[in-house]
Amino acid sequence: MPVTVRMTKMAPDVPTPSYRSDHASGMDLHAYLAAPLTIAPGAIALVPTGLKIAVPPGYEAQVRPRSGLALSHGITVANTPGTIDADYRGEIKILLANIGGAPFRVEPGMRIAQLVVAPVARAAIELVAELPPTPRGEGGFGHTGV
């Protein structure tokens, strides 16, 4: 069942996010830049999209990396997944990180990330003296093997 997300463009030429296939989970987000931007290896850049959205209560919009940029250039989203809360109304900006070995040039209009809309469960915290036991217990990182 589709979820309605209201959106405004900060300029008429801002690309509208869209799904690239019938069963895609994420909509592509584009860089809204006046000129190309180069991200040096190891650097992070805040890239505007020119979009503002209103996500309905009970949902969030998640900003995720594009797999092709990650594989080919080492470009990812620094705070992946970035969360856009239902009460946020500012511009969507993407924290692109270059974990590759070469500078990466972000061109105006380039597809730079994906937007996934997902339901959110709000937790009720119950403080207790002890947690119920499980077979795993307190086994942490790597306890089941590498």
The per-residue DSSP string of 67-123 comes to HHHHHHH-EEETTSSEEE-TT--SEEEEEEEE-SSS-EEEPTT-EEEEEEEEE-PPP
Query: In which residue are the tokens 């690309």 written?
Result: 15
CATH of the domain at 53: 2.70.40.10
User: Tens digits of per-residue pLDDT, 68-116?
Assistant: 999 999 999 999 999 999 999 999 999 999 999 999 999 999 999 999 9
Res 83: pLDDT: 96
Query: Predicted confidence band at 145 (pLDDT cuts at 50, 70, 90)?
Result: low
CA-CA distances (angstroms) from residue 78 to 35, 92, 97, 98?
A: 22, 14, 5, 9
Domain boundaries, position 29: 6-119
Distance CA 48, CA 74 (A): 19
In a domain, 38, yes or no: yes
In a domain, 30, yes or no: yes
Return mean pLDDT, the chain. Answer: 95
Specify the 3-state DSSP secondary structure of 49.
Answer: strand
- Read off the pTM: 0.88
Average pLDDT over residues 25-41: 97
In a domain, 100, yes or no: yes
In a domain, 135, yes or no: no
Distance CA 64, CA 11 (A): 23
Average pLDDT over residues 48-72: 97
Query: Predicted confidence band at 1 (pLDDT cuts at 50, 70, 90)?
Result: confident
Nearest to 130 by CA among 138, 142, 121: 138
Distance CA 38, CA 51 (A): 21
In a domain, 96, yes or no: yes
Structure tokens belonging to residue 10: 């900060």
In a domain, 139, yes or no: no
> What is the tally of structural domains in the chain?
1
In a domain, 144, yes or no: no
10 Å CB burial of residue 143 (0-12, 13-18, 19+) is exposed
In a domain, 31, yes or no: yes
* Phi, psi for residue 121 in degrees, rounded to 5: -95, 130
Res 18: pLDDT: 93
